Amino acid sequence: MRTGIVMLIALVLPELARAEGPVRLYYVGEAKVSSASGEPMGSQVYLLQKTQDRDKATITERAVIVRPGEAAEEWTIRFAVKDDNTFALSEDSGRATGSGGQRGRS
C-alpha cells in the first residue's frame, strides 16, 4: 500500500509543479513626449499591469495614463498568441488593432 501511494505521489507531483497560473507584472514610469521635429510636448505617467496566461495563450496589458491637466485614461490591450508565435492584438474601444510575430525565445 505504501509503495502504491509513493508511486502515485511521484507521478502526480511533477504535473502539479508544472501547472502554473497567470503571471502578473506591474510597471510604473514616465514618458517625455516630443513632436516629430523634437519639440517637447510634456510628459505622461504610466501604471501598467501585464498578465501573461500561458494556459489561455494570452497577454493582457491594462494601462492607466495620466497627462497634466487631463483626466486619467485607461487602456486594455489583449494579445492572443498562436502556436507559431504570431499574435493578434485588440483593444476594448477599437482604437488599436493589429497582428505580428515573435522571433527568438519566449
Nearest to 64 by CA among 52, 43, 42, 49: 49
Domain boundaries, the chain: 22-101
Terminal-residue alpha carbon distance, the chain: 43
- Say how far apart CA 42 and CA 39 lie, in whole Å: 9
Cβ(67)–Cβ(46) under 8 Å?
no
Q: What single DSSP character describes residue 69?
A: T
Q: What parts of the chain have a pLDDT lower than 50?
A: none
Q: What single DSSP character describes residue 11?
A: H
The helix or strand, by DSSP H or E, that contains position 44, with its residue range, turns out to be: strand 40-53
Nearest to 60 by CA among 45, 44, 74: 74
Cβ(97)–Cβ(90) under 8 Å?
yes
Q: What single DSSP character describes residue 37?
A: T
Q: Which three cell numbers stand for residue 26?
A: 506591474
Return the pLDDT at 7: 55
Return the pLDDT at 20: 74
Q: Could you tell me the pTM of the whole model?
A: 0.68
Return the pLDDT at 9: 60
